[in-house]
Chains A and B, each alone.
Chain A
Amino acid sequence: MDEIFVIAFTFQTLRITIPYLLPSIGGVYSEKGGVVNIALEGILLMGAFFTTLGTHISGNIYTGLLFGMAAGLLTALIHAYITITLKSNQIVSGIALNILALGLTKFLCKIVFNSSSNSARIIGLETLDLPFNPFLLVCLIVLGVSYYSIYKTRFGLRLRAVGENPEAADSLGICVSRMRYAGVLISGLLGGLGSAWLAFNQHSYTDGMTAGRGYIALAAMIIGKWNPLGAAAACLLFGLAESFTLQFQDSAIPTQFIQMLPYVLTIIVLAGFIGKATPPAADGIPFEKKD
């Protein structure tokens, strides 16, 4: 265990944590406002594809980033429209969007890159300059801003109010659907941002490359008790576990056993350490305005 190894291990953990952390915080915004966002997985997939597409077309990562975030935002907008304006079941909408994203990205990939599995190589970002990694910085800023905005600002208070008790919030003149839209859209933006990192780090788009990260982000949010800081800690835990499976493969322990560890860890943490995780009271319930 020399110093270089410890540094490499730490950086690797941070790199892996980024695409969990951003959507996870996005999930906090959405659910604090009372909308369950299972569509995060689809948002990530769309974001990753459009980041790649934007970068491929323009040859410039900023355009790619813009494309990715716009795709995330748009996917979230659909989710918001279905669940808030049309008051449909949030789980159904989320799953439908995930399936849609899976098919749509394949379809578009086939059209643009003549393969439903892989895109061409894009410029992307070098990862080894990690102390100055822009995405890590973005993560820290997002973390700080989200904590402050959810717990210390009027916006946050209103967001939490419509998630806990929309009737009461409504009676005080807060527009419930506007707040909920805001929560879902922010989660779309953050999801798009997180998936842009995936695409930049990998320098390409691969079919299904998010590999369930959206769901893991949701799990981290629940473990973190719907609190940005808690969610971030949970994401770090997942990142650590995954990094562990990568680094300790070449040892006497069978790989299958090591690859099982993150999941065992999740179960242990869920079952034993965090205590009861209580979601916002009106989470998942469409709001019907009564006259």
Chain B
Amino acid sequence: MKYKILILAITLLTFSCGKKDEPQNNTGKLKVGLVFDVGGRGDKSFNDAAYRGLEKAKQELGIEFEYIEPGPGADREAALRQFSNRKDISVIFGIGFIFTDEITKIALEYPDKKYACVDYTVDPAKTIPPNLVALEFREEEGSFLVGAIAGLLTKSNKVGFVGGMESPLIKKFQVSYEAGVKHVNPKCEVLIGYAGVTGDAFKNPGKGKELALGQYSEGVDIIYHASGVTGLGVFEAAREVKKFAIGVDSDQNDEAPGIVITSMIKVVDVSVYEIIKEVKDGTFKGGRVENFGLKSKGVDYVYSEKNRHLIPDEVHKRVETIRQEIIEGKISIPVK
């Protein structure tokens, strides 16, 4: 009986990893494999943005795709390897900075496959493999702008930040957000909280909620989160105490309408789509860093009919001026 249950458990675990060993398809369609970051599908944020890129490519370019939502730990490399070993899959994406080391290693091992990594941490001392594209986003520029919005809108002169895993990437969000707040409102205080020091900190909404409730109880009235699924807890907290939050990566307005003032968006969907298009058109070139900033609208903040009523005109004007100044290089944004 014990063994039966163990076998059943193992079977289910294997299934749940999203593995589909279908016989190879001979339709000749381009097939893409994508491995999600810690938060996984349904995070309404980063990973879902990547998924939208896949969907768009499927509809407009007629490609096929498969994805894996890895569990904690070493699953990531196994997932990349699993796709790399498949004959029918030619392009493989890793979503998130956490893939940096693994995808570099795997790309070198499988030189005939093409790879792209969103949020790849570029190390100037190392060369990027010729079959890998590093997709880098200037989160600091977008975070600076939403920081300015928070600094202009706060009534209590106290705003907050909730980060997922304490890491250089998320620190970048935090530091530039703080700089944005102080740029428009030097007297404003910024409270900071992190959900943890491991990847799991991106999928802990319970903790996100408690962190946010803590900050709100200390007088904070706007919290910016950069924490994946954990941020959904921040929205729950904001909903309960009727205060405000700022979303990240995707337009998160729909998660808590009227509460999410704006979102710092990264066009992860566009970047995924563009890479697939390049492969399809035969123009894919690896070994490079593709940069997305304010100038190319690779990062931005949301200002649409859904949230326009939350941002007064004079605030919007001021922020647009700052945007110009950043693009022209008049403002230097700290990242550490």
Contact = CB atoms under 8 A, between A and B. Distances in A.
Interface in A68-114: 78, 82, 86, 88-89, 92-93, 96-97, 99-100, 102-104, 106-107, 110, 113-114
Contacts of A259: 196-197
Given A118-B41, A247-B214, A255-B197, 17 more contacts: A5-B218, A8-B213, A78-B5, A82-B2, A96-B9, A104-B12, A113-B42, A117-B40, A119-B42, A124-B236, A127-B240, A202-B206, A206-B205, A207-B203, A208-B203, A249-B194, A259-B197
Interface of B: 1-2, 5-6, 8-13, 15-16, 18, 36, 39-43, 47, 69, 71-72, 166, 191-194, 196-197, 200, 203-207, 209-211, 213-214, 217-218, 229, 232-233, 236, 240-241, 255
A85 to B, nearest CB: 10
A179 interface: no
Given A4-B217, A96-B5, A203-B236, A246 B211 contact: yes
Closest 4 CB pairs of A and B: A117-B40, A103-B12, A118-B42, A115-B42
A102 B10 CA distance: 10
A115 B69 contact: yes
B210 A12 contact: yes
A206 B229 contact: yes
A198 interface: yes
17 contacts: A8-B214, A8-B217, A12-B210, A12-B213, A16-B210, A96-B6, A96-B9, A99-B13, A103-B16, A107-B12, A110-B16, A121-B255, A127-B240, A201-B206, A202-B206, A203-B232, A204-B232
B194 A255 contact: yes
Nearest to B18: A116
Interface in A1-19: 4-5, 8, 12, 15-16
B69 A117 contact: yes
Interface in A187-228: 198, 201-204, 206-209, 211
Nearest to A19: B206
Contacts of A128: 213, 240-241
A102 B72 CA distance: 12
A250 interface: yes
B192 A117 contact: no
Contact of A202 (B16, B166, B233): B233
A97 B5 contact: yes
Nearest to A104: B12
A279 B204 CA distance: 34
A288 interface: no
B16 A116 contact: yes
Given A117-B43, A255-B197, A103 B15 contact: yes
A250 B42 contact: no
Nearest to A127: B240
Most chain A beta-carbon neighbours within 10 Å: one of B36, B204, B210, B255 = B210
Given A8-B213, A128-B241, A202-B209, A118 B5 contact: no
Contacts of B6: 96, 99
A12 B214 contact: yes
A133 to B, nearest CB: 12
A278 interface: no
A119 B6 CA distance: 26
A255 B233 CA distance: 20
Contact of B12 (A93, A100, A246, A250): A100
A211 B229 contact: no
Contact of B203 (A93, A103, A124, A206): A206
Contact of B15 (A88, A93, A107): A107
Among A88, A116, A246, residue most surrounded by chain B Cβ atoms (within 10 Å): A116
Given A110-B16, A202-B233, A202-B236, A250 B193 contact: yes
A249 B40 contact: no
Contacts of B233: 202
A249 B162 CA distance: 11
Name the residue in B5, B47, B197, B241 with the highest tally of chain A Cβ atoms < 10 Å from its Cβ.
Answer: B5
Nearest to B38: A117
Contacts of A206: 203-205, 229
Contacts of A211: 200, 204
B238 to A, nearest CB: 12
Contact of B166 (A15, A99, A255): A255
A58 interface: no
Interface in A121-177: 121, 124, 126-128
A15 B241 CA distance: 16
A198 B2 CA distance: 30
